[in-house]
Amino acid sequence: MNSNCGNCCNNCRGQLCASKVPIFENLNNEELLEIVKNINHKEYSKGDVIFTEGNISNTLYFINQGRIKLYKYTKDGKEQILHILSEGEFFGELELIKPSKYRFNAKSIVDAKICTLSKDEMKSIIMRNPEIGIKVLEAIGERLSKIESLVQNLATNDVDSRMAYLLMDLMEKYGENIENSISVKLQLSREDMANYIGVTRETISRKLKKFEDEKLIKIVGTKNIIILDEEGLKDYI
């Protein structure tokens, strides 16, 4: 269940929460403090819904700690994940341009600490620091590009290609180099992985086993995948 977290900044490993957000990286400490004065803090437990599609959009969300998934429901009621966001990323930015309702749902997939700014406060910050507005637009462009790639992937690629696409995406975001391989600590359940690429959980398990048999990956427990052959995965895409 979500709760207000008035002293979250005191729990941010000694850092100002705004300093974790790349769009604020060029601001000095005084400017960051000014932003923090206007920030509200909330904590969400794993599985908490932050907002649902159709809610009035009046808040910009910054992830201090945790993982958040943005998703929609298909016509047949299945969940389709659009983005998985982590520390330092933000969401709700599209509605900065034009007041509207949220066009997707947001849910925490692990315990999370979220910092929020009202849209009016964020617009005021952008007016004082136009370069932040440019960074927001760049982030919007990058996110729309990823959505376009996801739609194309779901519409035109077979399941093997979609599975490889997902693994490459997770590798780029969460991968850590270990000797001659890349370790990916999974931030998604098997069900979330399935909802990301439009298949069943059983299909995810079968395809992971197939890729492991082909020595493209190595599965370590339920939360870690070692990428052994990056080029081999790319051949599927």
Residue range(s) of every CATH 1.10.10.10 domain in the chain: 159-236
User: Are the C-beta atoms of 81 and 166 separated by less than 8 Å?
Assistant: no
The amino acid at 129 = N
24 and 32 in contact (C-beta within 8 Å)?
yes
Q: Which positions of the chain have pLDDT values less than 50?
A: 5-15
Q: Would you tell me the crossing angle of helices 159-174 and 201-213 to the nearest 10 degrees? A: 80
* pLDDT at residue 118 in the model: 86
pLDDT for position 15: 47
pLDDT at position 16 is 55
Is CATH 1.10.10.10 the classification given to domain 159-236?
A: yes
Length of the chain: 237
Overall pTM > 0.75: no
Could you tell me the CATH superfamily of domain 3-156?
Jelly Rolls (2.60.120.10)
Q: Which residues of the chain are in CATH 2.60.120.10 domains?
A: 3-156
Instruction: State the Cα–Cα distance between residues 59 and 92, nearest whole angstrom.
Output: 7
Question: In the prediction, which pLDDT does 17 show?
Answer: 65
Residue-level pLDDT at 98: 67
Residue-wise pLDDT tens digits, 13-30 = 334 566 677 777 777 777
Neighbour-count burial for 119-148, b at 16+ CB within 10 Å, e otherwise: bebbeebbeebeebbebbeebeeebeeeee
Q: How high is the pLDDT of residue 99?
A: 67
The pLDDT of residue 47 is: 94
What is the structure's pLDDT at 8? Answer: 46
> Residues 208, 212, 215, 217: what is their CA dihedral angle, to the nearest 10 degrees?
60
